[in-house]
Amino acid sequence: MSTALGSAAVPAVAPLLELRGVTARFGSVAALSRVSLTLRAGEVTCVLGENGSGKSTLVALLSGLQRHDEGELLLDGQAVRFRTPGQARAAGIATVWQDLAVAPVMSVWRNFFLGAEPTRGVWPFRQLDLDAARDTTVREMARIGVTGIDPDAPASALRAGERHSLAIARALHFGARALVVDEPTAPLTVAQHALVLESLVAARGRGLAVVFVTHNPQYAHLVGDHYVLMAHGQVASNLTRDDVDVEDLTRLLAGGDDLRRLTETLRQLHPDLPR
């Protein structure tokens, strides 16, 4: 088996987030059906599957855009039901969306703070602390591997991978406990993909529960601790690095028959595997 990029050093703990038998419907169609999974602090869970497999609905559920109809969503062991994205953010769940939106003409530091700009002085003489805003942006971006940026440059000057890293750095700075990253749809170079992956590793190292939604088994295996393969709104398999290597993941995503056979084989060998 290959070694994960920056292997997680955080020991197994109780789940930060947990789904138990969750079903989410759009009308009569179950976009998610009896989905159960656990998301632990200090681990990266990669969610893989074809279009229509339920990945986007899972992201929407965790981020407060979609409510579940059956089952339970638990945060620190307590059942929750997010009614808005604001409630999910207030609970410490930050989502970096697939089609990342930034204000292109605004500076990098403005995009980093987005209404939470640091100030100095006391009311009524309080004023924006530009030095702190710039320094914080550069420092937090560097902590996740993005260096050499000009905080005063417009966000449009950032590459696609850097823009995603900016959103991740912002989530870390403002105290996120769980990070949900939907793989960017914009074409990225290998170096830009590396920035996004390095950001995920940094988030894991800082103790966040990370969910990485991707279609790329190679990237998933580089950073993942767990792999949730979805099909038709259900968890087709829930695997760890000890169960599969990158070739296994690639083959599983290429054919459902292989997935079913391997899943049954693994369950015979490991009866305690989650279903």
Q: Which amino acid is at 108?
A: V
- Measured CA to CA, the distance from residue 171 to residue 177 in angstroms comes to 9
**Does the domain at residues 19-99+176-269 carry the CATH identifier 3.40.640.10?**
no
User: How confident is the model at residue 136, as a pLDDT?
Assistant: 97
- pLDDT tens-digit map of 228-259: 999 999 999 999 988 988 888 888 887 655 55
* Global pTM value: 0.83
Residue spans per domain, the chain: 19-99+176-269, 103-157
Confidence of residue 10 (pLDDT cuts 50, 70, 90): very low
Query: Per mean pLDDT, which of 25-29, 69-73, 141-145 is the most reliable?
Result: 69-73
Convert the chain into a string of H (helix), E (strand) and C (coil): CCCCCCCCCCCCCCCCEEEEEEEEEECCEEEEEEEEEEECCCEEEEEECCCCCCHHHHHHHHCCCCCCCEEEEEECCEEECCCCHHHHHHCCEEEECCCCCCCCCCEHHHHHHCCCCCEECCCCCCEECHHHHHHHHHHHHHHCCCCCCCCCCEHHHCCHHHHHHHHHHHHHHCCCCEEEEECCCCCCCHHHHHHHHHHHHHHHHCCCEEEEECCCHHHHHHHCCEEEEEECCEEEEEEECCCCCHHHHHHHHHCHHHHHHHHHHHHHHCCCCCC
Q: Which amino acid is at 206?
A: R
The least confident of 22-26, 99-103, 129-133 is 99-103
Say whether pLDDT at 45 is over 60: yes
- pLDDT tens-digit map of 46-95: 999 988 899 999 999 999 999 999 999 999 999 999 999 999 999 999 99
Task: State mean pLDDT over 30-46.
Answer: 96
- pLDDT tens-digit map of 199-222: 999 999 999 999 999 988 999 999
- Measured CA to CA, the distance from residue 115 to residue 268 in angstroms comes to 53
Say whether pLDDT at 11 is over 70: no
